[in-house]
Structure 1
């Protein structure tokens, strides 16, 4: 698509909606979204939501009993798990587990997308806990969703999505350039429309749309801070090869990594595997 033919935002949305079948939010995640907006949310309400999904119950219990969270005694029920993990942590686990239901298939490409999503969420949460604790839970969800547009494009057009990836790996083009050449729009725009359909706050839509130019979000300090954290997490994933075919050592400097996280790369990879293993249970 030539620069002169660049569509307006409204026309671009029409093009995307005609090109992609945007999925509904999985049922458990829908209930969770309602709870997150409920000023009277409590542990019992969260427990009831998780209990309606036996698979999700197993995930929460597995993570509560993992080496990372493990205590002196084995957790055997959801109430105990919520007490050990914390209310928002369980919300995040449920949201992550629900997101896997968005995938239409689960081959190698989907495995990489999923690893990158979980990796970015875990790393963003850790960065926020160290540097901006009030943003930690929002950073997890933002990390989980930041590339959801790629999931949708791969769901709907796997051959075209593979073409984008091949161009990035084999040609001297950026990801944005490859997307524009193949689709005529970016996964950022798709992701923004998805989270709007799922009734996430407008701030999430704005973050996904402007993720590659976060200075546009500087009008909202909290939003900007979360976007910056997830951006760093995304680059750490690239550096470590999380969700990528191979690591990219130049994605983030040693200095910026050390300023963001206080654990080794080996410890970080082990932590991500523990969380992913729990969510995949």
Structure 2
């Protein structure tokens, strides 16, 4: 069996993403969706229900009493926060405890980086028209999901990959694809396709290292920019992150100024603290 065949076989055995989480994400695209309708779907997933109630009752919300009703909790947290809670808590099982040895990431670092990119993507969307902030968060959160499953393959060929980067002057992703058989971005796109995610999110994950796609697809550009900003802040740099730079053209395209960028960074630091409290990152 070739290395690529091994990777494709691995994709087929990746556990499914919770269907309830995907259904709720679809429902939340309708701003008029009711808490009652959401409750009818969420109540059938005990893990998501428990997470929503746990987070609603966290100190962050400062409620005077404990909330035990799922429908009441949904009203309190609001639709935007609900989507973040559901996607993050559902993604946690794929990231938490995962070692990123192939990318020289400490345990838990890939998870923290992914959450940070999701938050940063949502922050950047505040300055961009036509990109859904929920989609930006989800695409940012899952942009490196391929690393979770490709890491051991990369670890086996790490020295060869780095030698090719140095000798040929290519990117880590290009060397990764040639020597391993697929890049983590390609693997991520395959996984999201298998999970049945919306095409725009799948493409953003697939193309987040594709320079040509950055000029065509706003969501891809936002995720790529968010990834570069988070790496520049020292969150989840890894072996491949050293060559990732913030592209001035991306900032200029969306009219994001230095002041906007500093505000996004400040908000990220606050939000990542909140995420660490709520999701034990």
TM-score (norm 2): 0.73
Counterpart Cα distance in 1 of 2:160 and 2:270: 29
Judge conservation of contact 1:211–1:227 (CA < 8 Å) in 2.
yes
Structure 2: give runs of 5+ residues left out of the alignment.
100-104
Partner of 1:8: none
Deviation at 1:109, TM superposition (A): 3.9
Residue 148 (structure 1) shift: 1.1
- Cα distance in 2 for partners of 1:191, 1:243 equals 17
Question: 1:4 is matched with which residue?
Answer: none
- Give the 3 Å change call, closer, same or farther, for CA 199–265 of structure 1 in structure 2: closer
User: What corresponds to 1:5 in structure 2?
Assistant: none
Out of 187, 191, 196, the residue aligned to residue 190 of structure 1 is 187
Per-residue CA deviation, residues 234-276 of structure 1 (Å, 9 max, x unaligned), is 0111011112259969833898673544537455223213113
| 2:237 aligned residue | 244
CA contact (8 A) 1:97 1:280 kept: no
Kindly report which structure 2 residues correspond to 1:95-244, keeping only aligned pairs within 5 A, or say none. Answer: 95-103=87-95, 105-107=97-99, 109-132=106-129, 135-154=132-151, 158=152, 160-161=154-155, 163-164=157-158, 172=166, 174-213=171-210, 215-216=212-213, 224-244=217-237
How far apart are 1:50 and its partner, in Å? 3.8
Taking the aligned partners of 2:107 and 2:95, their CA distance within structure 1 comes to: 7
Structure 1 residue 23 displacement after superposition: 1.1
SS at match of 1:149: helix
**Aligned residues: CA RMSD:** 3.9
Q: Secondary structure at the residue paired with 2:61?
A: coil
Matched, 1:89 2:103: no
Separation in structure 2 between the aligned mates of residue 72 and residue 230 of structure 1, nearest angstrom = 34
Q: Which has the higher contact order (CA 8 A, sep 6+)?
A: 1
* Offset at residue 143 of structure 1 (A): 0.5
CA distance in 2, matches of 1:151, 1:217: 24
TM-score (norm 1): 0.73
Q: Which residue is 1:60 aligned to?
A: 52
| Runs (5+) with no aligned partner, structure 1 | 1-10
